[in-house]
Amino acid sequence: MRRSNNAGRIRWSTDTAKAKAKIQLPYFLGDFMEKKHVHQCLKCWHIWEIGKYLRKDGTERKRCPRCNSNQTVFTELNPTRIVVREDLLMLTEGQYPYKYCPKTSAEELFGHQGDIVNENGVRIFVSRGWADRNYGHYVYLIVDKKLWMTTDKDENESIMEAVKECPNNARVFIAGLGLGLVLLHLAKSRKAREVLVVEIEPRVIKYVEPRVRKWLSKHYPDFNWKVICGNALEEVSKHGKFDWIFFDIWSGRNPRKGEPSEDEVISKALPYLTPRGKLTLWTRVVRKIEERRFREALLKLNFLGEKSV
């Protein structure tokens, strides 16, 4: 188990869609332990304490005491707070943090301890980039060495903001499966009666869909959804009309070269909305959040300026 021995532990629960079955999620509380640095081998990943293996002259041994490799580093132990969120449990099939949990900075940066899938050009793994260590680890999806998606704090916020636009009792079209984050938040919202997901990359479906389905089937059994492989811009016209259409097919806050423009998506999708239907573009949600944060920062600066006068 990769957590500090003295970390506090409680259980919290959430209700499922209609069955109201309780999901028991362990969550480790308490402040970080005092920062502790150790030596670690990048070949066999053995960890040993500073001062444990010394040369005759009293200096630190540079080679690994287990495999004798000179590929060793000085690294921080338990650099990231263990926060068990439902997206982590869903994508690790309930095994985080007992598995897929890097326990040093070296493992987060260079190791494969967090790998859930690493084959056929697809890598899904648990780690932490430059995000706040208090948020904890999150999941990355990389396809052909390109970052497709994460479940970091900003991504979760943007998906939750998007789901707010979904009407109740909605027939839903989702463009882009990704890591299934929008499906999780939709299931929790209980807003959708039927969901169609279109994903263009068959490998993403192969490795992500079974994990998402296993979790949602167990904890949200009334959530009705399916995934098909195809181009969402073409498929949106083939399945009737929808109460909510959500496009999440871009790699950044603005469409990049080779990606469909927002206007193209709007022109393709709008005719297939019901009279009460709504169309949501992930890029616009992200920009909306950024604008709100900017306004909040300005208000805070103005408030601080007034106080100092």
- Confidence tier at 296 by pLDDT (50, 70, 90): confident
Instruction: Work out the angle between the directed axes of helices 181-189 and 202-219 (0-180°, nearest 10).
Output: 30
Q: Are 124 and 208 in contact (CB under 8 A)?
A: yes
Topology of the domain covering 153-286: Rossmann fold (3.40.50)
Q: Are 117 and 142 in contact (CB under 8 A)?
A: no
3-state secondary structure of 142: strand
- Confidence tier at 62 by pLDDT (50, 70, 90): confident
- Chain segment 24-33, per-residue pLDDT in tens: 443 443 344 4
Q: How far apart are CA 180 and CA 208, in angstroms?
A: 7
The backbone region for 78, taken as left when phi is positive above 0, alpha when psi lies in -120 to 50, beta otherwise, is left
CA angle 118, 123, 128 (to 5 degrees): 120
- Average pLDDT rounded to a whole number, residues 218-226: 98
pTM (predicted TM-score):
0.85
Please count the residues of the chain: 309
Ordered DSSP codes for 217-264 = HHH-TT--EEEEES-HHHHTTSS--EEEEEE---SSSS--TTSPPHHH
CA 115, chain centre distance (Å): 14
Q: What percent helix, strand, coil does the chain show, rounded to 5?
A: 30, 30, 40
- Chain segment 127-182, per-residue pLDDT in tens: 998 888 999 999 999 999 999 999 999 999 999 999 999 999 999 999 999 999 99
Give the pLDDT of residue 172: 98
Q: What is the dihedral of CA 230, 147, 280, 255, to 10 degrees?
A: -90
